[in-house]
Amino acid sequence: MTKPVLVIIDPAIKLPAGAERSTVEQSGDRLRLADPDQPQINVTDLGVTRGDGIFEAFGVSHGTVQAVEPHLSRLARSAKLLDLPELDLDVIEQGVRLAAREHEQVPFFMVKLIVTRGIEGVEEPTAWALAFVGDDYTARQQSGVKVVTLDRGYRHDVAQTSPWLLQGAKTLSYAVNRAVIREAKRRGANEVIFISSDGYVLEGPNSTVILKSGDTFVTPRTDQGILVGTTQHALFGIIESMGYATDYRYVEQHELTAADGLWMVSSGQQISAVVELDGNPLDHDHELTQELLKRLVERSL
Amino acid sequence: MTKPVLVIIDPAIKLPAGAERSTVEQSGDRLRLADPDQPQINVTDLGVTRGDGIFEAFGVSHGTVQAVEPHLSRLARSAKLLDLPELDLDVIEQGVRLAAREHEQVPFFMVKLIVTRGIEGVEEPTAWALAFVGDDYTARQQSGVKVVTLDRGYRHDVAQTSPWLLQGAKTLSYAVNRAVIREAKRRGANEVIFISSDGYVLEGPNSTVILKSGDTFVTPRTDQGILVGTTQHALFGIIESMGYATDYRYVEQHELTAADGLWMVSSGQQISAVVELDGNPLDHDHELTQELLKRLVERSL
């Protein structure tokens, strides 16, 4: 079994404003390889006591860390929504790359980056990057996913009206994102699409929703308290290069069943076709899905 | 400075159904004192990676752990909502009491109990009890709190319609509960009362709301996806013994300003009067608050 690689990161900006930013050389003492099988987190770290932190999950395909800049931008956005101290994205990037480099070079693996608010009372952020072989998504990629739609409980505009609900931040408070997968399994499915309380399509608990309507690929607008999809962003580039149109707009629930194709995309699974929605089979274009999967996996080669 | 005391607990039911439950003697090898200053949690524990776990915070007043049974019942309810394995409440109680006993016997301190889903892929729950001197609430108890009302984003009936949102469970996914306190501070206040998206009074991020209407003390009904308040429960017993009536009902937002008294109660602060609501001063009965505080602190002596 491939052994995970853990890099502990000291992630906060350390230099006064205006001073020279840390360089790769200077970052050395702010990165430290550690044993992932040994306890590394304090019981009063706010990451564990309050789910008070943020994360990103990078795919590493044939040695290349995918979508580094989109992930780091989203991390910075999440940090801002949570009023975390400013993060040193250079050092964090070095930590992610070090974990990827030290990991056994299997064709595809993940690097999960976590930043917490730190130990209560101290509140200097705790951070680490863990490289590991993630879930095997081959079956999903080949045979598709069965999806149920579940109420997210919030209106689609809640990020604007009530920013303290942290919608649009990728936080460690993911108990709901885990609970909905258990609910999906109880219903004989294995994936979820969240619907806003006023009927708009949002996102999956760990993925972005893409639908095809004629020759246009559509994803829900991200001003609805959902995450900017890093894999969706890459996919739209690929799709446009293939001659299709793309669109970010509000998507109503009834459009899911009427679509000419429906997919879930994320760093881990890359892309899977939705083959069943709320118990009803959906048409899907296997060849197109496989072509998109191939281009996504190979995008950085 | 008083040193925190950490007890690591092995919390899952170990015996087959029908076999003799663990006893205090047998629980010995399932409790272990550990150093809270040393890392104790694995980086792949779902408590920290997903906020996937539950907690309770017990007050310890003059050596007595308060409201043990209500806290343990609520823990079991939270565990059920999260589909966690059945917990051995006997062993957990012993762990909480051991932490309390080993802690320096200052007049008031806290024991925080946490149960996570455990290390990803293993998923045997991780649990610990940490005894520590919590925040000093003297100023709040004496001078009251300034409260802002904030939208919780969910309808009041969301626990019934959408149980996968885990409302009513005391989970580790508390990033929002922390964010609203930061929002309150930005607005010149120090506490929050959540309002449902359809206008009902819910709870604080870490406390229960009590209001007085004539000679009746009222708290919002707990079928609105809010927590059963352990301190509220003790307070209602005290209030009834003083000759007041009590009521659990739906409370509309406008009732807050019209009330004859408004309080926040929790294990740590016990009780504080709300003296300002959304920037407007509220009348409050200082003597009554102090009497209730005294009776709450001394209830178990």
Together in a domain, A189 and A265: yes
Contact B155 A55 (CB under 8 A): no
**Whether A170 contacts chain B with CB within 8 A:** no
Domain final residue, candidates B74, B97, B132: B132
Q: Are residues A81 and A168 in contact, defined by beta-carbon separation less than 8 angstroms?
A: yes
Together in a domain, A176 and A40: no
Together in a domain, B33 and B102: yes
What pLDDT is attached to residue B300?
73
Residue A140's alpha-carbon distances to A92, A248, B150, in angstroms, are 31, 25, 41
CATH number, domain with residue B104: 3.30.470.10
Query: Residues 6 or more apart from A163 whose CB is under 8 A from it?
Result: A81, B183
CATH number, domain with residue B261: 3.20.10.10
Mean pLDDT, residues B146-163: 97
Structure tokens at A150: 């579940």
Q: Tell me the C-alpha distance between A201 and A213, whole Å.
A: 15
Q: Tell me the C-alpha distance between A179 and A15, whole Å.
A: 41
At position B60, the amino acid (one-letter code) is V
Residue A155's alpha-carbon distances to A174, A255, A277, B58, B194, in angstroms, are 19, 18, 22, 35, 16
For residue A214, count other CB atoms closer than 10 A to its CB. Answer: 10
Contact B42 A44 (CB under 8 A): no
**Whether A183 contacts chain B with CB within 8 A:** yes
Together in a domain, A61 and A154: no
List CB contacts (< 8 A) between B42 and chain A: 36-41
What pLDDT is attached to residue A20?
56
Alpha helices by DSSP H, listed for chain B, are 24-27, 46-50, 68-81, 89-102, 138-143, 158-161, 175-186, 230-241, 254-258, 286-297
Together in a domain, B167 and B281: yes
Together in a domain, B270 and B193: yes
- Reported as a single tens digit per residue, the pLDDT across B3-23 is 999 999 999 887 655 555 544
Together in a domain, A277 and A179: yes
For residue A41, count other CB atoms closer than 10 A to its CB. Answer: 21
Torsions phi, psi for B27 (to 5 deg): -70, -15
Domain final residue, candidates B115, B132, B149: B132
What are the beta bridge partners of residue A276? A146, A281
Determine the 3-state secondary structure of B1 from DSSP: coil
List CB contacts (< 8 A) between B197 and chain A: 154-155, 197
Together in a domain, B69 and B112: yes
- Reported as a single tens digit per residue, the pLDDT across A76-94 is 999 999 999 999 999 999 9
What pLDDT is attached to residue A24?
44
Exposure b/e, B190-220, CB count within 10 A at least 16 = b: bbbbbbbbeebbbbbbbbbbbbbbeeebbbb
Residue A280's alpha-carbon distances to A32, A201, A253, A288, in angstroms, are 50, 18, 15, 21
Domain final residue, candidates A89, A111, A132: A132
Selection from A99, A34, A86, A74 nearest residue A227 by Cα? A74
Together in a domain, A155 and A258: yes
Q: Tell me the C-alpha distance between B170 and B111, whole Å.
A: 15
Stretches where chain A sits below pLDDT 50 are: 22-25
Residue B285: is its pLDDT beyond 90?
Answer: yes
Query: Residues 6 or more apart from B166 whose CB is under 8 A from it?
Result: A175, A176, A179, B81, B82, B173
Residue A150's alpha-carbon distances to A180, A191, A192, A277, in angstroms, are 8, 10, 7, 11
List CB contacts (< 8 A) between A114 and chain B: 43, 48-49
Mean pLDDT, residues B266-270: 97
The nearest CA of chain A is from the CA of B299 a distance in Å of 28
What pLDDT is attached to residue A12?
87
Mean pLDDT, residues B90-105: 98
Residue B169's alpha-carbon distances to A165, B80, B84, B107, in angstroms, are 17, 9, 12, 30
Determine the 3-state secondary structure of B274 from DSSP: strand
Contact B46 A6 (CB under 8 A): no
Together in a domain, A152 and A177: yes
Residue B28: is its pLDDT beyond 70?
Answer: no
Give the burial class of A228: count Cβ atoms within 10 A of its Cβ; 0-12 exposed, 13-18 middle, 19 or more buried.
Answer: middle
Total structural domains in chain A? Answer: 2
Domain extent at residue B145: 138-297
Query: Residues 6 or more apart from A219 whose CB is under 8 A from it?
Result: A208, A209, A210, A211, A229, A232, A236, A246, A247, A248
The nearest CA of chain A is from the CA of B148 a distance in Å of 13
Residue B192: pLDDT band (50, 70, 90) is very high
- Which H or E run contains B17? none
What pLDDT is attached to residue A57?
98
Together in a domain, A49 and A122: yes
Contact A50 B128 (CB under 8 A): no
Contact A42 B40 (CB under 8 A): yes
Determine the 3-state secondary structure of B89 from DSSP: helix
Together in a domain, B274 and B208: yes
State the average pLDDT for chain B: 95
The nearest CA of chain A is from the CA of B109 a distance in Å of 16
**Nearest 5 degrees, angle CA B220-CA B223-CA B226?**
65
Residues 116-145 of B with CB under 8 A from A: 116, 128, 130
Residue B29: pLDDT band (50, 70, 90) is confident
- Which H or E run contains B242? none
DSSP B76: H
